[in-house]
Amino acid sequence: MTRRSVGSLAAAALAVVSGVVAFATIAHASPILPPADPTANVVAPPALVSAEQADCQAVPIDDSAGCTQALLAEIDYGLATEGLAPMTLPSNWASLSVPEQIFVVVDLERVARGLQPFLGLNFAWDVDAQVGAFDNTDPPAPTGNPWIATEWAGGAGDFHSALEADFVWMYDDGVGSPNIDCGSVGATGCWIHRNNILSEGSCTTCIVGAGFSVVDGVSSMAAVFVEPTNPGALLAFTWAGDVVPFLGRPPPPVTSPPVTSPPVTSPPVTTRPVTPSASPASGGYREVARDGGLFAFGAPFDGSEGGARLDAPVVGMALDPWTGGYWEVASDGGVFAFDAPFYGSEGGQHLDAPVVGIAADPATGGYWEVAADGGIFAFHAPFLGSEGGARLDAPVVGMALDPWTGGYWEVGADGGVFAFHAPYFGSEGGQPLSAPVVGLVADPATAGYWEVAADGGVFAFHAPYLGSEGGQRLSAPVVGMTRDPYTGGYWEVGADGGVFAFDAPYFGSEGGVQLAAPVVGIAP
């Protein structure tokens, strides 16, 4: 279920003046757990409101000690109304990214009430949460898991940090609050954000995705809570390993023993800070052409290499999940960044084989280039191995990130799949094909993947088959495919720019238009 919250926070501004609020004077009740809801919103005392205005700067994120203390005091005030102790933040709070802070404060709310903490942040759901943050709305919530819930905080007003989003979700979510889904007494959306955070209290496998962006100068924060179909997914940030050691004291007891995620075997890479997006994604897709031209349908256009003099043709593109921008990559390994950071490229270097694609790493904000000989070039992203130097039955034509493990797959023109720090679910390698495979797409909902061929045929491995253009008469060969994060469906794109939608909305295409160069790929 998706829920969202929007509106001014003037009525719920957070702050503290040392010694002004004596929490012991608040009438203590019992912790409120679903299905029970609070009887009223928590209203911050005027002294807290005034102090917040003095201590927090008018910027999207203020992690200063004064503002953090001010916002934490409001949460402490809310906790005290349930007879709970003040919240203790981990000592490394200020160094955490906003998505990590969202996860931490959500789990602190849970363990304060004796609930099992969510295990950690997972690549797959971080991607979906980030889409919601960029779009300034609820994240997409693909089906197929025992339980899933989503949150969003943004719109009008200021959210100085994850603490402020937490206060709105947990303590100011009823009638008269910024929660637009709670317009009247008895509305089904009342207290839904709080209930999402506290639901599935005994779940021992539940994980989180979190995202953050700045939209029109205002913070936008999103979260996805999941009880996964496939327990044991690799976690990028965990309660047990990345939070508890920094709390300085044992956390309150929980109802079941903690569960740890499998160890990460890939080289560590420092996550870069989130870069605000000047043009957040809004759904839809983009086509990229061989000359670097880019055609946007239902998605923002942030520039292209169209019309520029290129040393080599463009062969693909990838969305930057941190900024909402994108990269184009050329066959000589050159990378062109649009509203996305440039971390280097193979442009100008001697290559044993041409580059055929690029993939983004949502864990680090970097990217990988993949060459036709299976070589992988990592830029601000971990190198986990490649087929470079190996004897191949067919050239590699693309790669895809496995959002569950942080690893990746390469795919050959014969449909063979090579897995690096990612599970192998099968391939078309060794099978007779009507046309060569041209790409590979991951499905975060199932942890599987799809192969797509030049005749439009789609081959599903541990992922749902939703249809294809295979067997149809095409005006031009299919050159790529991408997943719609909102519906879980996918789009195929032809060299003539035609788009074919399967369980995904159609936003238009360049099909039938005279193009200066053929289309070579598609991305959200």
- Residues 489-521 have pLDDT tens digits of 999 999 999 999 999 999 999 999 999 999 999
Higher pLDDT, 52 or 28: 52
Residue carrying the six token digits 């005091």: 73
Q: Are 406 and 123 in contact (CB under 8 A)?
A: yes
At 331 the pLDDT is 97
At 258 the pLDDT is 34
Task: Tell me the per-residue pLDDT of 337-367, one tens digit each, with 9 for 90 and over.
Answer: 999 999 999 999 999 999 999 999 887 889 9
At 461 the pLDDT is 97
Average pLDDT over residues 237-249: 86
Average pLDDT over residues 34-61: 87
Output the six-digit token pair for 393: 């039955």
At 251 the pLDDT is 42
Q: Smallest Cα–Cα separation from 330: which of 356, 350, 304? A: 356
Q: Residue 279 CB: number of other CB atoms within 10 A? A: 17
Q: Smallest Cα–Cα separation from 161: which of 301, 15, 277, 51? A: 15
Mean pLDDT rounded to a whole number for the chain = 85
Per-residue pLDDT at 420 exceeds 50: yes
At 29 the pLDDT is 60
Average pLDDT over residues 414-430: 96
Per-residue pLDDT at 239 exceeds 60: yes
Per-residue pLDDT at 86 exceeds 50: yes
DSSP 457-499: -EEEESS------TTS--SS-EEEEEE-TTTS-EEEEETTS-E
CA-based Rg of the chain, rounded to a whole angstrom? 24
Strand order in the sheet with 478-483: 478-483, 490-494, 499-502
Q: Write a three-state SS string for 230-290.
A: CCCCCCCEEHHHHCHHHCCCCCCCCCCCCCCCCCCCCCCCCCCCCCCCCCCCCCCEEEEEC
Helix (H, G, I), strand (E, B) or coil at 167: helix
At 141 the pLDDT is 79
At 504 the pLDDT is 93
First to last CA, the chain: 23
Output the six-digit token pair for 156: 């009008």
Phi, psi of 164 (to 5 degrees): -70, -40
Q: Smallest Cα–Cα separation from 208: which of 222, 219, 193? A: 222
Q: Specify the DSSP element, H or E, that contains 442.
A: strand 437-443
At 19 the pLDDT is 32
Domains in the chain (CATH in brackets) are 5-246 (no CATH), 285-523 (2.130.10.10)
Q: Smallest Cα–Cα separation from 370: which of 405, 333, 335, 341? A: 333
Per-residue pLDDT at 263 exceeds 50: no
| DSSP state, residue 213 | E
pTM of the model: 0.65
At 62 the pLDDT is 86
Average pLDDT over residues 284-296: 97
Own/partner pairs, 455-462, CB within 8 angstroms, 24+ separation = 456/492, 456/494, 456/500, 457/433, 458/490, 458/492, 458/502, 459/415, 459/427, 459/428, 461/417, 461/425, 461/426, 461/427, 462/425, 462/426
At 405 the pLDDT is 82
63/205 Cα distance (integer angstroms): 31
Q: CA of 89: how far to CAs of 54, 92, 96, 103, 179, in Å?
A: 22, 8, 11, 12, 26
474/482 Cα distance (integer angstroms): 19
Higher pLDDT, 6 or 167: 167
Confidence of residue 265 (pLDDT cuts 50, 70, 90): very low
Output the six-digit token pair for 263: 């160890």
Residue carrying the six token digits 């004291």: 249
Per-residue pLDDT at 281 exceeds 60: no
Q: Specify the DSSP element, H or E, that contains 100.
A: helix 98-112
Confidence of residue 10 (pLDDT cuts 50, 70, 90): very low
Most confident of the ranges 92-106, 135-149, 211-225: 92-106
Confidence of residue 155 (pLDDT cuts 50, 70, 90): confident
Average pLDDT over residues 79-95: 93
Average pLDDT over residues 56-85: 90
Helix (H, G, I), strand (E, B) or coil at 101: helix
Angle at 229 between CA 226 and CA 234, to 5 degrees: 70
Average pLDDT over residues 316-333: 93
Q: Are 360 and 367 in contact (CB under 8 A)?
A: yes
Q: Are 14 and 73 in contact (CB under 8 A)?
A: yes
Own/partner pairs, 435-438, CB within 8 angstroms, 24+ separation = 435/477, 436/394, 436/397, 437/397, 437/411, 437/412, 437/413, 438/397, 438/398, 438/413, 438/477, 438/478, 438/479, 438/480
Per-residue pLDDT at 390 exceeds 80: yes
CA 302 to chain centre: 20
Average pLDDT over residues 156-163: 77
At 272 the pLDDT is 30
Q: Are 362 and 322 in contact (CB under 8 A)?
A: yes
Higher pLDDT, 373 or 125: 373
At 494 the pLDDT is 97
At 13 the pLDDT is 29
Task: Tell me the per-residue pLDDT of 360-371, one tens digit each, with 9 for 90 and over.
Answer: 988 788 999 999
Q: Which residues have CB under 8 Å from 457's CB, separation 6+?
A: 433, 434, 435, 468, 469, 470, 471
Q: Write a three-state SS string for 106-155.
A: HHHHHHHCCCCCCCEECHHHHHHHHHHHHHCCCCCCCCCCCEEEEEEEEC
At 233 the pLDDT is 67
Beta bridge partners of 338: 326
Per-residue pLDDT at 267 exceeds 50: no
At 12 the pLDDT is 29
Phi, psi of 126 (to 5 degrees): -60, -40
Higher pLDDT, 18 or 434: 434
Average pLDDT over residues 43-61: 84
